[in-house]
Amino acid sequence: MGVFFLVVGLIGLLVSGSVGASGLSLECAAEQEADRVVRLPGQPAVSFKQYAGYVTVNQTHGRALFYWFFEATHQPHNKPVLLWLNGGPGCSSIGYGEAEELGPFFPQKDLSTLKLNRFSWNKAANLLFLESPVGVGFSYTNTSSDIDQLGDTIAAKDSYNFLVNWFRRFPQYKSHDFYIAGESYAGHYVPQLAEAIYDNNKKVPKKDHINFKGFMIGNALLDDETDQKGMIDYAWDHAVISDRVYADVKKHCDFSQSETGKHCDVALGHYFQVYRIIDMYSLYSPKCVDSNFTLTHKSRQLPLVRGHVAPRLFSKFEGWHRKPAGYDPCASDYTEVYMNRPDVQKALHANLTKIPYPWTHCSERISFWRDAPASILPIIKKLVDGGLRIWVFSGDTDGRIPVTSTRYTLRKLGLKTLQEWTAWYTTHHEVGGWTIEYDGLTFVTIRGAGHQVPTFAPKQALQLVNHFLANKKLPSTPF
């Protein structure tokens, strides 16, 4: 009888949400322990904790998003929480962000070991990666029709629901400052999620309030007209396209429109042709020539997404859908093999529903995008006025969302300049890039970096995020 009453008592504690020795409810402690990643195959020993698993974002439809969370390397109880999002739409923040850019662990060429990233962003913050929307990576839905409804609106709504439920599972981080960062199509994801948090914080009960302070976006898709115009101007200015191709595009294409004519299509075809032989995402990087991966690199294409995906003119061209290669242009292949290993998935508590397709960087299931505004600038302006900290950064060797595009875009905001164009410095007296401070927004360039800034300039990227989180200007004199 004693054992019976002990079991009943434990169940009662769980149901009532009683607090254990850690200060967490026993229910939260149990959920966190279930998500605890003890050791990944081939992983070097580390002192920080990591967690991975699923958070349900729509109970009725059975939609669940997969996350991977790393505590800060030092004093996690004093550090902010930073969510990182990659774009696509339809690409994995774990495949790119965690495994090839700013996470602690990078899969290696031997396909069995992980390298510890010396410049991981969990040196600056408690670091959270999310595979969003459903259909991306390990995230899934039990309602197949959900895939056909995807777009910016659902992505923002599900990501917001994820955060609310994640903080319920990890309430010890609830009081921490919270930030979002991302790149590329996350120029849509990040501001839209920021807006959802900003708006909901005004009406949700205190228990679901998120201590949101700001966001940072890099090489970000923000405005169809200026993003596309800047791509053409950048390509000509960097000797990628000829005077004739440049003149033809300028003559026949109106980037303020959502449709192209025949002559514009021909001109853009010539423009994209150049990027078959060099990497649009990093003009001066090599291509993968490893014979072990020739099959995967024969056609490094992102899945073709139709519908309202931005920018509307360029998205119908094959060249727009090429995958980024990275500084090690074969790195994505290492990641793909590693993430499909059953022992890796077991360690991450991933693929519990046995998804009937392999893990890929970018989802081949998402073929239609229902909604995307032509410009994110109204949201940016609203959040600037709302007092959020906003930084925009740009690797200056990216041809996909080049620095030229971002400068044209930010000019449209019409913000007052507080500090003019100024060089900023890394260690050893090196210029890291340039920065300009507007009233409510800071813009930073990273010299020599491609589309995935933390991949190409990891040291500068860590310096960037440290200064952003501390709300400090980058150093304007050598040190």
The catalytic residue positions are 184, 398, 451
| Cβ neighbours of 421 (radius 10 Å) | 11
Question: Nearest 5°: CA angle at 135, between 129 and 141?
Answer: 105
d(CA 170, CA 115) in angstroms, rounded, equals: 27
Q: Which residues contact 150 (CB under 8 A, 6 or more apart)?
A: 89, 133, 134, 135, 366, 368, 369, 370
Beta strand 81-85 with 178-184 is parallel
Q: Does residue 478 have a cis bond before it (omega within 30 degrees)?
A: no
Q: Where are the beta strands (DSSP E) in 343-410?
A: 368-369, 389-395
Q: Give the other-Cβ count within 10 Å of 285's Cβ.
A: 18
d(CA 467, CA 476): 13
Pairing of strands 126-131, 63-70: antiparallel
CA Rg, the chain, in Å?
A: 22
CA 314/CA 272 separation, integer angstroms:
9
Report the distance separating Cα 274 and Cα 247, nearest Å.
16
Pairing of strands 306-307, 368-369: parallel
150-172 as b/e: b if 16+ CB within 10 A: bbbebbbbbbbbbbbbbbebbee
Q: How far is CA 345 from CA 137, 281, 339, 354, in A?
A: 11, 29, 7, 10
The secondary structure of 356-374 as a DSSP string is SS---SB-SS--EE----S
Q: Sign of the CA dihedral 249, 254, 256, 257?
A: negative
